[in-house]
């Protein structure tokens, strides 16, 4: 057997904070991996009812729009309710179940991923609001992330706490799906109550009929000279402070 490594994709799902309950698949073709992931979403939706089931249906109806500009080697992580669905690009030597075993290069052959996937811990209560979390950009315009991105979590702005590391906001480019929009650099959160009478130049522009929270109050505690007000119900991508200690 050759046991050579090759570029493939590991596809799996797990409840937030738990290890995968089902087998993690190893697939060589990105389009096939995405189809497999979407089948996982559809099958999981059958276990839910009402608004919870609608969140899965909404994801499947719009997820193709989030993939139009995604490069082939970028991983994907979709969080729907309390379930994470993920596609991770890897260099692996997982043995195929066909007669060629580890020497098989057929991208359409599935095989069990020979890897240990640890439970991802979180202290955040999951909501049934589908968001798309892609891997962090790795280019000259974005500062390198110096902590393990596996701990990244989407949370409501109102749930951000002191010391959380803020990575991204979520935008809605072409549909109701929210997709991570990474900041050029990460910054530490120092939440405080929103004061509409603040004269920083930004707080006064916030919608008065929407609850807000200030995540930083300007330089040097934040990346800007002004406050950083967020609608309290908006999602932000963070690494919890507890994971940074």
Contact present, 113 and 25 (Cβ < 8 Å): yes
Q: What confidence tier does 74 reach under pLDDT thresholds 50, 70, 90?
A: low
Residues 147 and 198 in one domain: yes
Residues 170 and 221 in one domain: yes
- 239 in a domain, yes or no? yes
Helix H, strand E, coil C: the string for the chain is CCCCCEEEEEEEEEECCCCCCCCCEEECCHHHHHHHHHHHHHHHHCCCCHHHHHHHHHHHHHHHHHCCCCCCCCCEEEEECCEEEEEEEEEECCCCCCCCHHHCCCCCCCEECCCCCCCCCCCCCCCCCCEEEECCCCCCCCCCCCCCHHHCEEEEHHHCCCCCEEEEEEECCCCCCEEEEEEEEEEECCCEECCCCCCCCCHHHCCCCCCEEECCCCCCCCCCCCCCEEECCCEEEEECHHHCC
Q: How far apart are CA 172 and CA 179, in angstroms?
A: 6
Number of domains in the chain: 2
Largest CA distance in the chain: 71
Q: How far apart are CA 39 and CA 31, in angstroms?
A: 12
Q: How far apart are CA 65 and CA 91, in angstroms?
A: 27
pLDDT tens-digit readout, 180-214: 788 888 899 999 999 888 888 899 888 888 999 99
Contact present, 7 and 94 (Cβ < 8 Å): no
- 85 in a domain, yes or no? yes
Full residue range of the structural domain in which residue 230 is found? 136-243
pLDDT (0 to 100) of residue 166: 92
Residues 161 and 231 in one domain: yes
- 119 in a domain, yes or no? no
- CA atoms within a 13 Å half-sphere pointing along the CA-CB vector of 116: 1
Q: How far apart are CA 76 and CA 186, in angstroms?
A: 20
Q: Greater confidence, 131 or 120? A: 131
- 51 in a domain, yes or no? yes
- The two tokens of residue 143 are 């500062």
Rounded mean pLDDT, 135-143 = 71
Residues 214 and 172 in one domain: yes
- 125 in a domain, yes or no? no
| Mean pLDDT of all residues belonging to the chain | 77
- 17 in a domain, yes or no? yes
pLDDT (0 to 100) of residue 179: 73
Residues 195 and 161 in one domain: yes
Percent pLDDT > 70 in the chain is: 77
- 128 in a domain, yes or no? no
Asked which of 112, 147, 174 is the last residue of a domain, the reply is 112
Q: How far apart are CA 188 and CA 220, in angstroms?
A: 11
Residues 156 and 235 in one domain: yes
Q: What confidence tier does 1 reach under pLDDT thresholds 50, 70, 90?
A: very low
Residues 162 and 220 in one domain: yes
Asked which of 96, 112, 128 is the last residue of a domain, the reply is 112
Q: Where is mean pLDDT largest: 13-27, 34-48, 50-64, 84-98? A: 34-48
Contact present, 179 and 171 (Cβ < 8 Å): yes
Residues 69 and 141 in one domain: no
Residues 29 and 98 in one domain: yes
Residues 108 and 142 in one domain: no
Residues 67 and 166 in one domain: no
Q: How far apart are CA 108 and CA 131, in angstroms?
A: 28
Q: What confidence tier does 218 reach under pLDDT thresholds 50, 70, 90?
A: confident
Q: Greater confidence, 172 or 227? A: 227
pLDDT tens-digit readout, 76-107: 777 787 788 888 887 777 888 888 777 777 77
pLDDT above 90: residue 230: yes
Q: How far apart are CA 15 and CA 17, in angstroms?
A: 6
pLDDT above 50: residue 122: no
Burial class (CB in 10 A: 0-12, 13-18, 19+), 219: exposed
Residues 106 and 140 in one domain: no
- 120 in a domain, yes or no? no
Q: How far apart are CA 99 and CA 112, in angstroms?
A: 15
């Amino acid at each position: 057997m050759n046991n050579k490594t090759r570029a493939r994709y590991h596809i799996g799902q797990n409840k937030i904070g738990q290890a995968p309950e089902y087998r993690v698949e190893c697939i060589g073709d990105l389009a096939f991996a995405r189809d497999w992931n979407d089948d996982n979403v559809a099958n999981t939706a059958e276990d839910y009812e009402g608004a919870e089931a609608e969140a899965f249906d909404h994801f499947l109806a719009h997820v193709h729009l989030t993939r139009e500009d995604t490069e082939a080697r970028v991983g994907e992580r979709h969080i729907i309710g309390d379930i994470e669905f993920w596609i991770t690009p890897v260099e692996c030597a997982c043995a195929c179940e066909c007669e060629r075993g580890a020497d098989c290069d057929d991208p359409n052959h599935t095989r069990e991923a020979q890897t240990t996937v640890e439970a991802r811990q979180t202290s955040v209560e999951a909501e049934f609001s589908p968001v798309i979390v892609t891997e962090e950009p790795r280019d000259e315009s974005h500062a390198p992330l110096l902590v393990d991105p596996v701990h990244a979590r989407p949370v409501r702005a109102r749930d951000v706490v002191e010391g959380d590391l803020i990575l991204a906001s979520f935008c809605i480019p072409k549909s109701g799906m929210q997709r991570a929009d990474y900041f050029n650099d990460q910054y530490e959160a120092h939440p405080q109550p929103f004061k509409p009478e603040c004269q920083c130049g930004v707080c006064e522009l916030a919608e008065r009929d929407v609850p807000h929270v200030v995540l930083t109050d300007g330089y040097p505690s934040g990346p800007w000279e002004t406050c950083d007000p967020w609608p309290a119900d908006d999602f932000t991508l963070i690494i919890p402070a507890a994971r940074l200690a």
